[in-house]
Structure 1
Amino acid sequence: MRSLILLCVVGAAFAQFESGFVKILQDKRYQDGGAFGNFRDQEDGIKYFEETDANNIRRGYWEYPSADGTLLRTEFEAGPGIGFRITSSNHQAPTPIAQPQPQFQPVPQPAPAPVPVPTAAPIPVARPVHNPIPVHNPIPVHNPIPVHNPIPLFTTTTPGPQNLFDYPGNLEFSRSSQGHRFKFTAA
């Protein structure tokens, strides 16, 4: 299900890219201790919000206009013990919550009796005597090879691609001991 949703979002983004660039009207992100989140609003009507709490439970929504102009919105939650599920939507059914099933409990088995080990006198084993031979391992010395790459006195720049994302906007950023916040708003 997660792959299907991701594929839909990527498909929508790719379709927008093919028809032209989409201006981001607002982008907000924050981290506050163990919680973090983000929000994005685009000029084509697509919005996305998600927030993760300190227990790693992620909640959020995405919305976009359909071909007939209806605003389609889907709210979700995900996390340990939850998986991914749709909690509310105006165009598809919410994910049903699975009822916990009883877990298989194996029948306890008696512990096996220990196998008796015959006792006998230990047999002495002759061990060879080793006289260590000193080994001389000299540390290799590496002499750097001088490289002469003179820096050119004159450089030319080639014009790069046009920056289509360069439009006026406001950027706010703040940091705290617990995290950070930033907000970009197109002018």
Structure 2
Amino acid sequence: MTMKKLLIAFVAILSVLAVGCKKKGGDGTNGFPANFMTMRDSERLEYMMRRVDPDSVARFLCYSYLGRVPGSKIDTLAVAHLYACDKYRGEDFEKYITSFEAAVNELPLCDKMHTQLALGTSDTLSVGYDLGLGYVSQIRTRGLTQKDIDADIDNLRKACGTDTATYTRFVKGFKTALQADRGKDLPNDIYSRYINLK
């Protein structure tokens, strides 16, 4: 499923949530309570956890942190994520973790980099390399075209700014994954275009 389709699906979920919230007195953006933006992250998560499934909470957390959910925000992603992990049990925990990891992995390169750094679960020195290794899989699952890939890489280069080491590690990881995938799933024109990326 493409990122666009995922966002459309998530907005649909929020629309349903908004209707339910309005019935209970919510009068903020998207039907959230008027004080939703001033709540602590844990309070916002509690509010969502009482109303939607764990997979929706996972995407809410990811997209709110990135500023893609009008009327909501997440200030400290790592703490909020750990809070959700601590609250969920059994099957709900598994659903949450699986959906959260999927949401992060489906993000465009820049967003994925910022999210991984905010989570603090990856060695900052390995983030670029890991992004590169995983990008071939993203190209397949998101159905990216050369135009999409060019835009992703250009945005990542700009986001890295003076941190050229992270971008260099991304290129190294991407080339490693391309070489391993050659002749399998990716079209040869994509391999040829990016195997000498600098």
TM-score interval, normalised by the smaller of the two chains? under 0.3
Higher RCO (CA-CA < 8 Å; seq separation 6+)? 1
TM-score, normalised via structure 1 length: 0.26
Return the structure number with greater helix share.
2
TM-score, normalised via structure 2 length: 0.25
